[in-house]
C-alpha cells in the first residue's frame, strides 16, 4: 500500500462537517484523499463529495484509494479558485459542506522532482499543477529585484529579503539557478537561523516562492468568495491553514461575512444592505492535539477555522 499524506485534524473536520444527512461536500484540496475517505466512511451514504485538486498526480493517487466509494465521489482537476465553475460543470448548485486543507501534500514535498523541498535536491519547480507554465526557477529570472524582494518579504515574512535577492543575483551572474539545493545553499550563505532554531534558513524564501508560483493567496480569496453562492442553509465551511498569511485571509473573510454590513462606522444607518451570511463556530482556531503533533510533526502549524452559513 502506498504511504499516504497524513490528514490533519480529521476527527475535528468530521465533527464539524458531519451535520447533514444528505447533500454534497466539496473537498477543495483533495491531496491524497485522506479527508475525503474519512468523510465518506463516516457519513450517511447520501453524502457525496466533489473533490478538487490542481495536481493531476494527486487525483490519480486518490482515485485508487477512493475506488470503494466510486458512486459517492466525483474527482475534478482544477483550481480551488474555480470552485463555483467546477461545481456547475458537475451539475452542483448547492453544497452542505466545504473543506479546504491548504498548502502542499507530503507526496508533493517528498518527491524531489516536484521541487518543493529544501531537504531533497531537485529541479527548482514548485508547481502544484505541472501543466502550468511558470516554475520557481522561471520566477527568479522573470521578476525584477524589487518584485522578488517584495515576494520574499511579504509571502515569506523574511526580513533579509533584499539580502537574499542580492545573493540570488550574484549567483545568476555566474550560472543559472536551477535546483532546490542550489537555492537553499545561496540563501543559507546570507541568512542564518537563530541559534536554537531547527528551521532551515531558506524555509521562508521557499515558502514565498511556492506561494507566488501557485498564486496561493489569490486562489484562496477567490475560493472563499466563490463558495458563498453554493452554500446551502446551515452548510459548514472548514479551512485548515498552515501559515499566518492564509489564516489571516480566512479569519478576515469569516469576520466580514459574519458582520454583514460594510458601511463605514461613521454612517448612522446601513446603506450597503449587506446581511450577515456566516456564523463563526470557532472563535479561536482549533489546533492539533499534542498527540497528533507528536505523531505527525507536519501538522504542528495547522489551524482549523469553521463557519456556518446562516439560514437564508
Ligand atoms: C495539504 S494537501 C491536502 C491533503 C488532503 N486533505 C488529505 O487528507 O490527503 C493540499 C492539496 O491541495 C492541493 N491544492 C492546494 N492549493 C490548491 C488550489 N488552489 N487549487 C486546487 N488544489 C490545490 C495541492 O495540490 C495538494 O494536493
**Nearest atom, ligand 1, residue 62 CA:** 9
Domain boundary among 213, 238, 272: 213
Q: Which three cell numbers stand for residue 157?
A: 515574512
**Nearest atom, ligand 1, residue 4 CA:** 9
Residue 221 and residue 96 share a domain: yes
Domain boundary among 196, 213, 230: 213
CATH code, domain with 166: 1.10.150.170
Tens digit of each residue's pLDDT, the chain (312 residues): 678 999 999 999 999 999 999 999 999 999 999 999 999 999 999 999 999 999 999 999 999 999 999 999 999 999 999 999 999 999 999 999 999 999 999 999 999 999 999 989 999 999 999 999 999 999 999 999 999 999 999 999 999 999 999 999 999 999 999 999 999 999 999 998 777 777 899 999 999 999 999 999 999 999 999 999 999 999 999 999 999 999 999 999 999 999 999 999 888 899 999 999 999 999 999 999 999 999 999 999 999 999 999 976
Residue 209 and residue 63 share a domain: no
* Ligand 1 contacts CB of residue 184 (under 6 A): no
User: Which among 222, 213, 211 is positioned nearest to 245, based on CA atoms?
Assistant: 211
* Ligand 1 contacts CB of residue 36 (under 6 A): no
CA distance 80 to 85: 10
Ligand 1 pocket test, pick from 41, 105, 132, 242 with the greatest ligand atom count within 8 Å of Cβ, gives 105
Residue 103 and residue 220 share a domain: yes
Domain boundary among 213, 234, 263: 213
Which residues constitute the domain of residue 198? Answer: 133-213
* Domain count within the chain: 2
Rounded to two decimals, the pTM is 0.96
In a domain, 256, yes or no: yes
* Ligand 1 contacts CB of residue 35 (under 6 A): yes
Task: Report which protein residue has its CA nearest ligand 1's atom 24.
Answer: 104
* Ligand 1 contacts CB of residue 220 (under 6 A): no
In a domain, 118, yes or no: no
Cα 145 to ligand 1 centroid, rounded to whole Å: 30
Burial group, residue 22, by CB count within 10 angstroms (0-12, 13-18, 19+): exposed
In a domain, 207, yes or no: yes
State the helix-helix crossing angle for 10-17 and 34-41, rounded to 10 degrees: 50
In what side-by-side order are the strands of the sheet with 23-27? 73-77, 47-53, 23-27, 95-101, 231-241, 303-309, 278-280
Amino acid at each position: 500500500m502506498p504511504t499516504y499524506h497524513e490528514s490533519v485534524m480529521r476527527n475535528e473536520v468530521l465533527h464539524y462537517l458531519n451535520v447533514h444527512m444528505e447533500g454534497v461536500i466539496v473537498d477543495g484540496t483533495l491531496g491524497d484523499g485522506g479527508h475525503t475517505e474519512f468523510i465518506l466512511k463516516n457519513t450517511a451514504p447520501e453524502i457525496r463529495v466533489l473533490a478538487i485538486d490542481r495536481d493531476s498526480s494527486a487525483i490519480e493517487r486518490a482515485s485508487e484509494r477512493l475506488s470503494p466509494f466510486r458512486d459517492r465521489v466525483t474527482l475534478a482537476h482544477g483550481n480551488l479558485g474555480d470552485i463555483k465553475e467546477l461545481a456547475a460543470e458537475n451539475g452542483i448548485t448547492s453544497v452542505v459542506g466545504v473543506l479546504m486543507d491548504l498548502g502542499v501534500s507530503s507526496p508533493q514535498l517528498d518527491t524531489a522532482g516536484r521541487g518543493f523541498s529544501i531537504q531533497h535536491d531537485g529541479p527548482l519547480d514548485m508547481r502544484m499543477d505541472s501543466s502550468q507554465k511558470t516554475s520557481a526557477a522561471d520566477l527568479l529570472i522573470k521578476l525584477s529585484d524589487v518584485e522578488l524582494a517584495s515576494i520574499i518579504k511579504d509571502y515569506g515574512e523574511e526580513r533579509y529579503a533584499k539580502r537574499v535577492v542580492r545573493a540570488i543575483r550574484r549567483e545568476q551572474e555566474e550560472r543559472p539557478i536551477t535546483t532546490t539545493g542550489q537555492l537553499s545553499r545561496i540563501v543559507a550563505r546570507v541568512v542564518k537561523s537563530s541559534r536554537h532554531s531547527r528551521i532551515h534558513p531558506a524555509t521562508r524564501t521557499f515558502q514565498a516562492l511556492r506561494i507566488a508560483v501557485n498564486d496561493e493567496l489569490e486562489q484562496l480569496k477567490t475560493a472563499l468568495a466563490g463558495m458563498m453562492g453554493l452554500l446551502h442553509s446551515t452548510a459548514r465551511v472548514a479551512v485548515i491553514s498552515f501559515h499566518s498569511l492564509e489564516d489571516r485571509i480566512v479569519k478576515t473573510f469569516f469576520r466580514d461575512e459574519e458582520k454583514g454590513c460594510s458601511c463605514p462606522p461613521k454612517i448612522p444607518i446601513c446603506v450597503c444592505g449587506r446581511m450577515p451570511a456566516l456564523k463563526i463556530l470557532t472563535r479561536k482556531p482549533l489546533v492539533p492535539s499534542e498527540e497528533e503533533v507528536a505523531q505527525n510533526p507536519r501538522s504542528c502549524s495547522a489551524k482549523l477555522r469553521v463557519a456556518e452559513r446562516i439560514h437564508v
